[in-house]
Amino acid sequence: MSDESSEQILPGGVAKGFLRDNLEVVCFAILIIMFFKTFVGQQFTIPSASMRNSLMIGDHLLVNKFVFAVPQWSWEEKLFPMRQVQRGDIIVFRYPLDRNTDYVKRCVALPGDTIQMRDKRLLLNGKLCTGPWEHHILDPQDGPMPGPWPLSRDAGPSERRPADLPLVWPFADADALAMDMQGHDMLDGGFRDNLGPYTVPPGRVFAMGDNRDNSADSRYWGFLPIDHLRGRPFIVWWSYREGGNDDTNANVPEGPMGVLSNFADGARHFFSRTRWDRTGTIPR
């Protein structure tokens, strides 16, 4: 039998060549990643101690961006795991005063709830709201201490409202709301430890960091619009100690060189600085 008669003719489009084959794979992978980051989930790193010890500096989270999506049809809500935000949810959201910045806090009050801060304690609809997630710092050397924090437990001195501040909560300022900004610059004291009572308006929630003495949250910049929510963390896929301790803020990379620097640092200290006990845990 001749070589010509035994030659196999490939269907058109099969023999594309090495470059085209791999380019298609790369493009398809990029599309899948972009779809996943836009509609399903996204990686998020805890940069500061505002949620300590519920979330630690250097916790790398996967955020479920689908859970708070607004269904267009009733069958969507039945078919997919979509729901409204609930009290106690840890939430990732666009910071109202800078929408290019993502924050992570805990939702403590929903529209229609009445909130009040009394000597650092949160009163929700007239009842004390506390638990193991609430932390206060009595001694910086000991770090944040977990709750619960009844009124009979010393939570440290409270910051009082300065006498020269207006009686009206400034976050309800009409001009600020008209600009769709829910607050002003972070106040130095004043409303952090004693505030209210106030009712959470429609379309807003009240968000607070679990590390109550070290968190810039709704006590400073006001109510959080629900449409600013980006998702809910569902797993800590890696936890890494920046600087080898629990107190050094995470380095947020700016540009390709920052990403490479973070990658090199993580690779160099991967085994010594990884919190193995937190990696793979579910945030509560």
Active site residues per annotation: 50, 105
Q: What is the DSSP letter of 1?
A: -
The helix (run of H) or strand (run of E) holding residue 100 is: strand 98-109
Q: How remote is the C-alpha of 24 from its chain's centroid?
A: 34
Backbone angles phi, psi at 135, to 5 degrees: -125, 145
Is the CB of residue 248 less than 8 Å from the CB of residue 89?
no
Is the CB of residue 245 less than 8 Å from the CB of residue 273?
no
Q: Tell me the two tokens of residue 257.
A: 């060189």
3-state secondary structure of 206: strand
CA of 264: how far to CAs of 170, 209, 236, 256, 261, in Å? 45, 31, 21, 12, 5
- Cα(49)–Cα(144) distance, integer angstroms: 10
